[in-house]
A and B are shown apart, each in its own frame.
Chain A
Amino acid sequence: MATLTRTTRTSTAGRARVRGRHHRGESLTKVLFVLPAAVAMLGLFGYPVVKNLLMSLQDYGLKTFFTGVAPWVGLQNYRTVVTDKLFSDAMLNTALFTIGSIAFQFAIGLGLALFFRNRFPLSGLLRSLLLLPWLLPLIVSSATWRSILEQDSGILNRTLIGLHVVNDPVPWLNSPSVALIAVIGVNIWIGIPFNVTLLYSGLSEIPDELYEAGQLDGATGWRSFWYITWPNLRSVASVLLMLGVVYTIKVLDIILGLTGGGPANATQTLATQSYEKSFVDFRFGQGAALSNILIAISFVFAIFYLRGSRRAVDE
């Protein structure tokens, strides 16, 4: 206690002295603390965004790498990608992939988080083991699921046939009508742990007194969830949903690993399209145009979220 007081006192006196002595060198040092990170962030995020904006307005293709020339074409790249017959499919797939993934990740995540709120032996251990799918490299998960979902020899079809749920093997990744569902399913599996973790931490911040008070007023079961849990979880939930959109909309590894965008483009999204335009067709201008559309969509969601959270603070 005494030490603590002494430290505080010297530090107040010291702060004034130090400030006078080092003032100028000080602000320079402070800048040096931030400078490397600022340069890195500008180089790794600022430059790519600007470069993509420019590239999307240029005819930037394979030729450019030899001639160094990328003529300006205005909005031609945007026109080309938007009128491509694949574009509306890719938009729809992106929407289905994002909404489907997030809705189920969130719902299942919330269910599991509520379950783990019960106090029971090994709860903490089980919860941390649950994180494993989220920590695995996405391409590892893709490879594993590819083997599980294989049409003829995969364990899922063998089990389903064994249980007489289906008579013929389901072409999980080979049929245009099922592939998107399978890919969304795998992505849900990957996202559940993150949702459980965030929602569980949101739940544990709700004070027990609220539930005790609610119980006196007769709020139990669903009513206590609806009137106490949900309103108090809303801010965590909104952060989680915003992050979910921002992360899911750009997912590439899982789709490339599972289906490569096929069969017959059934799992093609804006992100995989952008990858193909740039790195398979080497039409960097068109790839950049598609990814700029992707950024614009993310920003719309972020702005909604930021406006919503500001309103929540104002209230």
Chain B
Amino acid sequence: MRRTAYTVIGVLILCVMLFPVYWMLNASLQPSGNTLTAGFLPLHPTFSGYKRALDEQGGNLVTSMIIAAGTVVLSLAIATPCAYALSQFRSRWVSVGLLAILISQMIPGIVIANALYTAYERIGLLNSIPGLIIANCASGIPFAILILRSFMLSLPPSLVEAARVDGAGLFRAFVAIVLPISRNSLITAGLFSFLFSWSDFLFALTLTTKGGVRPVTLGIYQYLGTQVQNWNAVMATAVLSAIPAVVLLIAAQKYIAAGAIGGAVK
């Protein structure tokens, strides 16, 4: 009896906390125009908001997708060997590396944007997808290192050594044995890197000056800048932009809490 009461309270808490998410979905299905008439339920749902969102922001969604995928590949390629080294090699540099990662979390994104803008301006990476991929690695790499390291700490050294007795070099043993075992944590780190990059707004805002390369977060911001007339198109774009978060929540559910904790504490 008491347990059921707890469940009911829990559901109520969740309803309050997730109301804005519901409202985003609801508003995206309302007929266009302002939200003055928007009821609590989309009784006459229309997909005109989504049509408009896809027409106007479809290209931006693809841009975001390419940038996020690129960030995942680059971040994991760079972070994975380092995470392995920080978890398995005995060296006094390990604590130096971890301290460096901790300190890096204190650097505001605007500092990175300031410096990258001037550097990109010189080498021609402004308004480019590779430029944004590199910038987004600033959030992807440290996080992936922390997540992967906390998993790899549990790998017994004998695992790799057994392969190396058979003549495999350190790198081959790493690729053949460590990577397959770490698959789940690689997926978690990859999903998070994707989400960070997909959510990036600051680098998109500062490192693009022309319309050529425009991630969807910037598209939403520009919707907000002009007088918002059609909330249903804005909210439809918001819903589409929320999809990676929902996928992450479902696909990596078990690992998210571990990820949040691994990234924060260890």
> Is A55 within 8 A of B199, CB to CB?
no
* Set A44, A189, A294, A295: member contacting B20, Cβ < 8 A: A189
Docked CA distance A142–B265 (Å)? 28
Q: Which of B125-164 contact A (CB under 8 A)?
A: 134-135, 137-138, 141-142, 145, 157-158, 161-162, 164
Decide if B35 touches A154 in the complex (CB within 8 Å). yes
Task: Collect the chain B residues with CB atoms within 8 Å of residue A136's CB.
Answer: 21, 199, 242, 245
Distance A292 CA – B108 CA, assembled complex (angstroms): 9
Residue of B whose beta carbon sits closest to that of A137 = B199
Q: A residues 124-161 with Cβ under 8 Å of B?
A: 126, 128-133, 135-148, 150, 152-155
**Cβ A197 vs Cβ B261 within 8 A:** yes
Query: Which A residues lie within 8 Å of B72 (CB)?
Result: none
Residue numbers in A under 8 Å from B79 (CB-CB): 37
What are the residues of chain B within 8 A of A181 when measuring CB–CB?
none
Closest to B198 in A: A137
Task: Say yes or no for B224: interface residue by CB 8 A criterion.
Answer: yes
State which of A189, A252, A288 has its C-beta within 8 Å of the C-beta of B109. A252
In Å, the complex CA distance between A252 and B14 comes to 27
State the B residues within 8 Å of A (CB): 3-4, 6-7, 9-11, 13-14, 17-18, 20-21, 23-24, 27, 34-36, 38, 77-79, 81-82, 84-86, 89, 93, 97, 100-119, 121, 134-135, 137-138, 141-142, 145, 157-158, 161-162, 164-165, 169-171, 174, 195, 198-199, 201-202, 205-206, 217, 220-221, 223-224, 228, 231, 234-235, 238, 241-242, 245-246, 248-249, 253, 256-257, 260-261, 264-265
Chain A residues in the interface with B (C-beta under 8 A): 7-8, 10-11, 14-15, 17-18, 22, 25-26, 29-30, 32-34, 36-38, 40-41, 44-45, 47-49, 51-52, 55, 60, 65, 112, 115-116, 118-123, 126, 128-133, 135-148, 150, 152-155, 189, 192-194, 197-198, 201, 236, 239-240, 243, 246-247, 249-250, 252-253, 256-257, 271, 274-275, 278-279, 284, 287-288, 291-292, 294-295, 298-299, 302
The 3 closest A-B pairs by CB, nearest first: A37-B82, A14-B165, A137-B199
